[in-house]
Structure 1
Amino acid sequence: MTINAFAAGTYRFDRQSASLVGMKNQLDGLARQLSTGRTSETYGGLGAGRTTSLSAHAAISAQDGYLAAITSAETRVKVTSASLTQLKTLADSTQANLTNIVSSRNQALPQTSVQLAANNLSAAVDALNQQVGGVYVFSGRATDTSPVVSDQAILNGVPSEGLDGLKTLIAEQKAADLGPAGNGRLSQSLAGSSLTLSEDGSGEARANLGFSLEAATSSGSGALVANRTAGTKADVTLSLAEQPAEGSQVRVVVQLADGSQKTLDLTARAGEAGNGPGSFLIGATKEATALNLKAALGGADIASVQSANPPGLAAAFTGGRPASATVALGSQPVAGDAITLKLGMHDGTTRTITLTAGATADATSATTFAISDKPGAAGIAETAANLDATLKRALQQAAATDLSASSTARASLNFFEGSPVAGLSPRRVNADGDGYAQTASSKTVIWYKGDTAADARGTVAVQVGTSRTVEIGAQANEEAIRRSLAGIAAVAAERFSGATTDGDRFQALSNRAATLFTAGEGAASLEDMGTDFGLAASSMANAKSVAGATKATLENSLDGVDTVSTEEVAAKLLSLQTQLQASYKVTSILSEMSLVNFLR
């Protein structure tokens, strides 16, 4: 231990020095606070206020994060909403043009609708391929993938890759629906004075293709008697080539009560999940799984099935009886006697054919048949032959107009139901033309390349608060978008001349396009989608306001803790400077004093 020397007055000078050093340190600290505006450069220097500062800064940082996320998401929502608005405008433009041309009855104008629809399809593709900051907004979670292929690939396919487009699918569908005789796959025969009309004998073909006989009636003198015999549906047995893997998807098309069809995509699941909506339970064997799949359909009438291979889903149609209609001439009809046939199509629409007896009739008429002037049975037989010929022309005309338009609309809807998921490519007609292929085709353009999540909004969630998120995801394969594209593309893929038949076909297609532009039952429309994003924008604006106010409050709470009042610091600095100067002066005077000065 070292003992320092002690002299009289040492303690006083030490205290003075320590005081001067302390004031100098205070002066330096106040000067630093004045220049930086901060209480201290370290949390330790805040003393008891450091806990408040740490928690407040963490909360401010969180609010900054929310504000940054909201700002980015607001741009995305605006672009998505603008694209949806553009798509709705294009669909409305296409439909309005179709309606105006139908009203004008100008046979030269339908082809201009085709060109407008083609332009609108190109614009729709551009709208759906919009990006924000390098992110495709209509691809769901696949943000780096352009969601929609080009309009040319949609219509014409990609020949260099062996992929067919919509035009090929429409041609296949028309050929299958019209059948070999071009009359909607109906069988027509005449025996004496009795005419018989029957649906296709194949249960699978009846469920999917051509005309169905809905009704047959007669009116007038009673010489013509029309009757319809109802058919029965074929039994459908499902089978699987292999057990499906967990998550495998299959496609089943079912018949609805109005004669239209609905596509269902079901997922194979194990355990309790297999009993959920949109799923079917994987059984102990592939046979048990097939039965579970049929049970999951709830008794719906199966029209066709499709899957990848494996699992190789197949449907066998057995039994059933086609509907038929007979028209018997018990005696020679009189002018005005008529028969009426109601024909159904597989989009849920119908076509009514009325054939009326006349004293004379044009040889090409599809509405009037001539009454023979021959007496007795020979005359009745000739009248029946005239009716038979007129009916053939009427059926072919109906097939070339309404049924052809139905084929176009159905093929377009099938095309846009195509998915990148294995087994869910667009439905294609079998090579024999009698049904649909049950193994998914690999030779068809898949128009959509993005995410296929069931909940499109949930693919992108923005954290806008501590426990608050806003969902702003979108996918170009959502039903409202698919249907709009199908309506536009159905028109763009067609060709029309000035012929009367083409004019009737154009009108029929216009009616079906209007149906495609309308949301299906229970499905969201483009307007509904727009509302979703409008609500998201409103929610984010509210969250932004809350985050801004919260941040401002927290920053205010740091006044006096992290930050200092420059006026107060300046006043303290001036006071301390005065004290220090005075201390220096006194210390200087005292240091010059000595006993010698008093002894003189």
Structure 2
Amino acid sequence: MTVSGVGFRTSFLSTRILDLQSQFDDLQAQLATGKKSDNYAGMGVNRGFAIALRAQISSIDSFADTMTNVTTRINVANAALTRISTIGTTVQGAATSSSTQITSNGQTIAQAQARSSLDEMLNLLNSRSGDRYLFSGRATDTAAVASTDDIMNGVGAQAGLKQLINERKQADVGTGTGRLTQATPTPTSISLTEDAGPFGLKLASVTSSAGSVTVSGPTGSPATESIDLGATNLNNGDTITFAFKLPDGSSENVQLTATTTAPPQTGQFLIGANSTATAANLNAALTTGVSNLANGALVAASAMKASSEFFSGNPVPRVTGPSFATATTQTPGTSANTLSWYTGETGTDSARGTATARIDDGISVQYGARANEQAFTNQLQTIAAMAAMSTVTGDPNANAQITGLYQRVSTKLLPQTGQQSVQDIAADLAGAQVSMKSAGDRQAQTKNTAQTMLQSIEGVTDAEVSAKLLAVQNSLNASYQTTAMLYQTTLLKYL
């Protein structure tokens, strides 16, 4: 009978013990970490799938971080847009109901409030989220707009809005007739001829309620219109209406009513002994009416036009002068002589496209904005005109100028059909938020599924590991006992 030595058996048992000890250590690590292994090699055949799942989860987390940043920026922009919209409503209400009483500085209280509103709106357009300017287009490190003081008063040789309004006023009012030439071709007729340039009052129409009156025009270039009373005298209450187009696109009428009551009131003319005498009285009344219009509502319309050109022009049209009162053309302003109120990035592409973010595979949102978008410039030019225009204390036409200004501001700040509004911009940003919300919901579900699958590959359960740990521990104890017994066995004991 062959007797094997214990050395071989104990060597085998020692290897087995080391293997069990390694298993025991691995199971203890699994119990502590909840992971099957601390490297992909220990995960078996699903290691490649686990790597792909982790990459997908990492991508989702990256998208989530992007959406968090973009949401913060949109929230800041929305807060600015909400306040900008409120400013427009407030100024519109003030123009509708405020007093036209002029203070010692040549402006009304409502105009002073408009200056404060303009200042606030410009500050809002310079809103930042972190180190990013939100209304500068792609120039995110540059403020979107210049300061209120610079815009109003200019910088050095660069003219500001007030200077442009003053130059335009001189060009539009001219010598006080709105650049119109009034004449009497015959004893019973009156003619009006407009200036050939872009300035002043422009003729729209002339009408009469009296059938005996002959009207013609406006025709020709420069346009001329005329009215001829003929041989038949007017009757009490007959009206002659002259309609004019103003620089800002608005219209005004000078309506004159024939009367037999002396002295005639404003807007009336005295019927004379014959049509020749009546025509002379009508001519004088028309001179007064045109002068009042030119020095009243035309001044307000001129300010609105100058402000519109300042905020919308690129380059800004400047009245060619001096002398501005006789100017007939405009010259493009330059960076040397005209301030640029918008200092952000300019472009012909969509403002929203100046800031984009990828929020999912193949899905991006656009949330950029420029302060020179139509919605902003329409409101800026209107509020700025109200804040910049001033009158002269004691000017008999001051009330008419302020009234004309208020009317135009009130109308311009109402929603305009076919024009972009602040609400339109807010709606665009809301669309980006909706897209991010949808993407976030999808990604949350995808991430939850991926994490569940990853846990099934990489993770372990405490119950499973504990059971294995107990089994290995029992095997290890048994191996230790067996090894100990073998080491104590001698030939004498064996026999």
- TM-score normalised to the size of structure 1? 0.76
Q: How is 1:543-558 mapped onto 2 (pairs within 5 angstroms)? A: 543-558=439-454
Match of 1:570 in 2: 466
Match of 1:242 in 2: none
In the alignment, does 2:426 pair up with 1:436? no
Q: CA deviation at 1:81?
A: 0.9
Amino acid at match of 1:427: P
Q: How is 1:126-275 mapped onto 2 (pairs within 5 angstroms)? A: 126-158=123-155, 161-180=156-175, 182-191=176-185, 193-202=187-196, 205=197, 208-220=198-210, 222=212, 225-232=213-220
Q: CA deviation at 1:170?
A: 1.1
Q: Following the alignment from structure 2 to structure 1, what is the Cα–Cα distance between the partners of residues 484 and 434?
A: 72
Q: How is 1:232-381 mapped onto 2 (pairs within 5 angstroms)? A: 232=220, 320-362=221-263, 366-372=266-272, 381=276
Match of 1:476 in 2: 371
Match of 1:415 in 2: 310
Deviation string for 1:5-59 (max 9, x for gaps)? xx84444233212211111111111122222222222212212121111000000
Q: Following the alignment from structure 1 to structure 2, what is the Cα–Cα distance between the partners of residues 172 and 81?
A: 38
Deviation string for 1:52-102 (max 9, x for gaps)? 11000000000000100111111111111111110110010000011112x
In the alignment, does 2:301 pair up with 1:406? yes
In the alignment, does 2:409 pair up with 1:513? yes
Q: Following the alignment from structure 1 to structure 2, what is the Cα–Cα distance between the partners of residues 562 and 194?
A: 105
Deviation string for 1:179-207 (max 9, x for gaps)? 23x122111112552343333352xx1xx
In the alignment, does 2:360 pair up with 1:465? yes
**Any conservation in 2 of the 1:226–1:339 contact (CA below 8 Å)?**
no
Alpha-carbon RMSD: 2.4
Q: Following the alignment from structure 2 to structure 1, what is the Cα–Cα distance between the partners of residues 411 and 358?
A: 39
Q: Following the alignment from structure 2 to structure 1, what is the Cα–Cα distance between the partners of residues 189 and 476?
A: 125
Secondary structure of the 1:533 match is: helix
Q: Following the alignment from structure 1 to structure 2, what is the Cα–Cα distance between the partners of residues 184 and 350?
A: 14
Q: 1:173–1:350: structure 2 CA closer, same or farther, 3 Å change rule?
A: same
Q: Following the alignment from structure 1 to structure 2, what is the Cα–Cα distance between the partners of residues 116 and 522?
A: 29
**Any conservation in 2 of the 1:192–1:381 contact (CA below 8 Å)?**
no
Q: Following the alignment from structure 1 to structure 2, what is the Cα–Cα distance between the partners of residues 486 and 474?
A: 18
Q: Following the alignment from structure 1 to structure 2, what is the Cα–Cα distance between the partners of residues 541 and 192?
A: 77
Secondary structure of the 1:230 match is: strand
Secondary structure of the 2:330 match is: coil
**Any conservation in 1 of the 2:154–2:160 contact (CA below 8 Å)?**
yes
**Any conservation in 2 of the 1:216–1:226 contact (CA below 8 Å)?**
no
Q: How is 1:103-142 mapped onto 2 (pairs within 5 angstroms)? A: 107=101, 111-142=108-139
Q: Following the alignment from structure 2 to structure 1, what is the Cα–Cα distance between the partners of residues 253 and 239?
A: 13
**Any conservation in 1 of the 2:6–2:487 contact (CA below 8 Å)?**
no
Q: CA deviation at 1:480?
A: 0.6
Q: Following the alignment from structure 1 to structure 2, what is the Cα–Cα distance between the partners of residues 361 and 442?
A: 58
Q: Following the alignment from structure 1 to structure 2, what is the Cα–Cα distance between the partners of residues 381 and 441?
A: 56
Q: 1:54–1:351: structure 2 CA closer, same or farther, 3 Å change rule?
A: same
Structure with more of its chain in helix, by fraction: 2
Identity between Structure 1 and Structure 2 (%): 32
Q: Following the alignment from structure 2 to structure 1, what is the Cα–Cα distance between the partners of residues 58 and 240?
A: 81
Match of 1:425 in 2: 315
Q: How is 1:73-92 mapped onto 2 (pairs within 5 angstroms)? A: 73-92=70-89
Q: Following the alignment from structure 1 to structure 2, what is the Cα–Cα distance between the partners of residues 150 and 28?
A: 70
Secondary structure of the 1:462 match is: strand
In the alignment, does 2:16 pair up with 1:19? yes
Any gaps of 5 or more consecutive residues in structure 1?
Answer: 1-6, 233-319, 374-378, 419-423
Match of 1:277 in 2: none
Moved more, 21-30 or 187-196: 187-196
- TM-score normalised to the size of structure 2? 0.91
Any gaps of 5 or more consecutive residues in structure 2?
Answer: none
Q: Following the alignment from structure 1 to structure 2, what is the Cα–Cα distance between the partners of residues 361 and 480?
A: 52
**Any conservation in 2 of the 1:360–1:369 contact (CA below 8 Å)?**
no
Match of 1:30 in 2: 27
How many matched pairs? 484
Q: CA deviation at 1:413?
A: 1.1
**Any conservation in 2 of the 1:199–1:211 contact (CA below 8 Å)?**
no
**Any conservation in 2 of the 1:459–1:474 contact (CA below 8 Å)?**
yes
Match of 1:395 in 2: 290
Q: 1:482–1:221: structure 2 CA closer, same or farther, 3 Å change rule?
A: closer
Q: 1:95–1:33: structure 2 CA closer, same or farther, 3 Å change rule?
A: same
Q: 1:370–1:43: structure 2 CA closer, same or farther, 3 Å change rule?
A: same
Secondary structure of the 1:84 match is: helix
Deviation string for 1:75-131 (max 9, x for gaps)? 111111111110110010000011112xxx664587011011011001101111111
Q: 1:121–1:361: structure 2 CA closer, same or farther, 3 Å change rule?
A: farther
Q: CA deviation at 1:514?
A: 3.1
> Which aligned segments of 4 or more residues in structure 1 are displaced greater than 6 angstroms?
none
Q: Following the alignment from structure 1 to structure 2, what is the Cα–Cα distance between the partners of residues 563 and 371?
A: 106
